[in-house]
Amino acid sequence: MPLVTGIPICIFAKPPIPGRVKTRLAQSIGPAQAAKLATAMLRDVWSVVRTLAEAVPVLAAAEAGSFGIDVPAERIWLQQSGDLGLRIECILRRGLETARAAIALGADTPLVTSAHLIQAIDCLKSGDAVIGPCDDGGFYLLGMRCCPPSLLAGINWSTEHTLRETELRLRAHGMNAARISTVFDVDNVADLQRLCSELRKLPSEVAPQTRQWLDETTWSAS
């Protein structure tokens, strides 16, 4: 297949169905509000990716459904079954069929900016891989220029060691992964409290849909 101009940035998301997304957060704010927040965060992340001339925004959907964003059918790539490592691998390999690099990005990082993504794309112009750390030991972004089979097999996901395990795995395959700036993802009520605090310090154009959810919901960080 001919190479495309832009790098696919594949946003991993589930349909925002109450009770099936953000389940840890739903324990504190309720399933309906958690689903609405998931939609708002996805809209913000999608909007940021769409602004980049060097990017091709892709929705890496866990399953078919409504996501609350307008996505061309050819930009919706269904994840395969399996653990997160296999699902990331399959999506990245699909992107690499037509592009020189591909990036996987989480949908629950509303504070991600174009600067973070430009930094990742720049790293991939000369390096093998790039990773965006979360300060809980995981990562919100993973990009690479090649993706060998079983590259991410057996990694322990959602632990404080996930980032380190992933970097060691890349290194074992002869790939050096550059780190870009840290961004936290929103998984629980403590993360949501932190998000509220951070948004107060940032310009209003950052995460507008998430801000709107916070303004409209009865949930309070206090």
CB 145 within 8 A of CB 98: no
Task: Write out residues in the chain with pLDDT < 50, as ranges.
Answer: 221-222
Other Cβ atoms within 10 Å of 35 Cβ, number: 22
Supply the DSSP symbol for 74.
G
Q: What pLDDT is recorded for position 222?
A: 44
**Token digits for 115?**
């600067």
Q: What pLDDT is recorded for position 1?
A: 52
Q: What pLDDT is recorded for position 218?
A: 72
**How does pLDDT run across 104-127, given as a tens digit for each residue?**
999 999 999 999 999 999 999 999
**How does pLDDT run across 161-170, given as a tens digit for each residue?**
999 999 999 9
- Domain covering 7-216: architecture: Alpha-Beta Complex (3.90)
Q: What pLDDT is recorded for position 45?
A: 98
Q: What is the pTM of this model?
A: 0.95
Buried b vs exposed e over 17-28: b needs ≥16 C-beta within 10 Å?
eeebbbeebbee
Q: Spell out the domain ranges in the chain.
A: 7-216
CB neighbours of 15 closer than 8 A, spacing ≥ 6?
Answer: 21, 61, 62, 63, 64, 65, 66, 67
Q: What pLDDT is recorded for position 113?
A: 96
Q: What pLDDT is recorded for position 5?
A: 73
Q: What pLDDT is recorded for position 114?
A: 96
